Amino acid sequence: MKTSTLPAVRVEPELRAALEAVLGEEETISAFVADAVRRAVDFRRVQGDFHARGEAAWLEYLRTGVSHPVDEVFDRVQARIDARRRELESRIGR
């Protein structure tokens, strides 16, 4: 797969100095920027999916009028968190 170039970005000298100060030993500015862009794209995708699920849930509520008490929702979320935590702890042998 061919790569392409992102446009050059002009920044204040202070920002560039701050960036250079936090780079890893073998890390380049280009690698840092590519990683930052990749993470921002992933975040925006997750954020968009979150909003789409929220909109779908809202439309489903408007269609059916069925809702769930906040305590019930929080309990289900907490149960999922607890189950995932147990799964991860069993993998590392705690």
Q: What's the per-residue H, E or C state across 7-74?
A: CCCCCCHHHHHHHHHHCCCCCCHHHHHHHHHHHHHHHHHHHHHHHHHHHHHHHHHHHHCCCCCHHHHH
Q: What is the pLDDT of residue 92?
A: 87
pLDDT tens digits for range 14-24: 999 999 999 99
Q: In the predicted model, is pLDDT for residue 94 greater than 80?
A: no
Q: What is the pLDDT of residue 93?
A: 77
Domain ranges of the chain: 13-92
pLDDT tens digits for range 34-51: 999 999 999 999 999 999
Give the integer Cα–Cα distance in Å for 17 and 37.
Answer: 19
Cα distances (angstroms) measured from residue 70 to each of 29, 34, 55, 64, 77: 45, 40, 18, 18, 11
Q: What is the pLDDT of residue 1?
A: 82
Q: What is the pLDDT of residue 82?
A: 98
